[in-house]
A = this chain, B = another copy of it.
Amino acid sequence: MTVWDRPEPPTPPVPLDRERIVAAAVALADEGGLEAVSLRKVAARLSAGPMRLYGYIATKEQLLDLMLDEVHAEILPEEQPGDWRAALGALAHRTRQAALRHLWLADLLGGRPTLGPNGLAVTEARLAALHGLADIDTVMRAVETVSAYCTGAVRREVANLRAERATGLSKRDWQRAHGPHVTRMLATGRFPALAEAVHDGSDVDAEASFTTGLDWVLDAVAAKIAPPPV
Contact = CB atoms under 8 A, between A and B. Distances in A.
Given A181-B115, A219-B220, A212 B149 contact: no
24 contacts: A111-B155, A113-B159, A115-B185, A120-B194, A121-B191, A123-B191, A123-B194, A127-B193, A131-B193, A139-B197, A141-B212, A141-B213, A141-B216, A142-B216, A144-B153, A144-B156, A145-B149, A145-B216, A145-B217, A148-B156, A151-B155, A151-B156, A220-B220, A223-B223
A178 interface: yes
Nearest to A123: B194
B152 A148 contact: yes
Interface stretch (A1-9, A15-23, A38-46, A198-206): A198-206
A171 B16 CA distance: 37
Contacts of A224: 216
A152 to B, nearest CB: 3
Interface string A107-124: 101111101010011011
